Copies of this chain bind each other. A is one copy, B any other.
């Protein structure tokens, strides 16, 4: 069966976004630095329709990941660019523009029903109001045998982890301290799942840690 994999970048001090998000800095103060490793890669730039970029370990890592993924699940806040002043607007536009970098179906967890949105380049946003299990079921069907990724935010990763639905945890540790913000893991509680290390990939720009969640 296809796996459910969370794939997210955190700072050395455990944050996936910095403090005080604004419209100009939706990932909070310093939060953009988290993704420097990814944005610099050839593979990321290709996905975004751009030339150039570095063809290095990070790029290969990103490309392999993309190749295995058939559908994405994300939270409503990630869809519209993190938590911030626009929060609460159920019709907020997608953060990822008219030709989103996913090129497959993206299932957005939300409390507000909304028609699917077909974007250019193969991405369709499907809004799911009946919970994480329903989103996973729909994403698995859409992935047609490929894996499903949980792209974020942190609370969505935590929900799938707590529900025992996550198969793998990929944490990209960016070489940065943010000092505050949104934690990837916030008080998982008295009985957190066990992990088994799968791999550690070194690169100049990030440490890529990959764990199997023991069920």
Binding site for B on A (CB under 8 A): 12-14, 19, 29-30, 169, 171, 173, 175-180, 183-185, 187-197, 199-205, 207, 209, 211
Contacts and interface: CB of A to CB of B under 8 A. Distances in A.
Contacts of A191: 179
Q: How many copies does the complex hold?
A: 2
Contacts of A195: 12, 175-177
Q: Which of A13, A173, A199 has the most CB of B within 10 A?
A: A13
A4 to B, nearest CB: 17
Contacts of A177: 185, 188, 192-195
A206 to B, nearest CB: 8
B173 A179 contact: no
Nearest to A175: B197
A169 B207 contact: no
A204 B185 CA distance: 22
A74 to B, nearest CB: 21
Contacts of A185: 12-14, 177
A180 B175 contact: no
